[in-house]
């Protein structure tokens, strides 16, 4: 098995370059030491879908821009609320100890489009940030505490400079 990114555009509000974002996700994972025997889903969904996930898993109303759902060892969990912490990334294959399924990143292009205007960046810049942000959440980073937020933001900017901005 190799590093496999399953990407799907399940919305029609904003065209998304699925292959481009899959490659960015793959590059970020490789930079973070995840190079093989791993699967990640990258889903682009509409506002209704992400709002439903946001309510179900975070107990928050309305749509958000990105949600990450690491697959954790605790089988009792049905998803992870971002920034809640946890035991770390991935579903571990019992007989080999290898990481098999890292998790899902769900992005809402409609919310990203609004945020891009607010942040004064392009739509692609915002999507790139959300892809990187979501992957880092899968790998266990969060931004609950100020120092964690600063560390995560620094890493996001390093990865964007290395893998996104050089080809944009």
Q: What is the pLDDT of residues 72-90, one digit of tens each?
A: 644 333 344 444 444 444 5
| pLDDT at residue 168, rounded to an integer | 44
Q: Whole-model pTM?
A: 0.84
| Superfamily (CATH) of domain 3-163 | Metalloproteases ("zincins"), catalytic domain (3.40.390.30)
Tally of CB atoms within 10 A around 159: 23
| pLDDT at residue 165, rounded to an integer | 78
3-state secondary structure of 155: helix
Q: What is the pLDDT of residues 51-60, one digit of tens each?
A: 999 999 999 9
| pLDDT at residue 2, rounded to an integer | 82
- Pick the closest to residue 111 from 88, 129, 136, 135 (CA basis): 129
SS percent in the chain: helix, strand, coil, step 5: 40, 20, 40
| pLDDT at residue 113, rounded to an integer | 98
| pLDDT at residue 3, rounded to an integer | 87
| pLDDT at residue 36, rounded to an integer | 80
Residues (pLDDT < 70) of the chain are 1, 72-100, 166-168
| pLDDT at residue 78, rounded to an integer | 38
| pLDDT at residue 49, rounded to an integer | 98
Query: What residue ranges do the domains of the chain occupy?
Result: 3-163
DSSP state of 120: T
């Amino acid at each position: 098995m190799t590093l496999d990114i399953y990407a799907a555009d399940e919305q029609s509000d904003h065209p998304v370059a699925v292959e481009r974002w899959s490659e960015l996700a793959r590059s970020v994972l490789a930079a973070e030491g995840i190079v093989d025997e791993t699967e990640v889903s990258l889903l682009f969904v509409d506002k209704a879908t992400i709002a439903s996930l946001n309510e179900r898993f975070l107990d928050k109303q309305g749509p958000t821009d990105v949600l990450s759902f690491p697959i954790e060892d605790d089988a009792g969990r049905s998803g992870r609320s971002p920034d809640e912490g946890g035991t770390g990334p991935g579903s571990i294959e019992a007989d080999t100890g290898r990481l098999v399924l890292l998790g899902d990143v769900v992005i809402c292009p409609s919310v990203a489009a609004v945020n891009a205007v607010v942040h004064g960046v392009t739509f692609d810049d915002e999507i790139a940030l959300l892809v990187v942000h979501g992957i880092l959440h899968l790998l266990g980073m969060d931004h609950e505490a100020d120092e964690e937020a600063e560390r995560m933001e620094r890493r996001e900017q390093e990865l964007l400079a290395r893998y996104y901005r050089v080809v944009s």
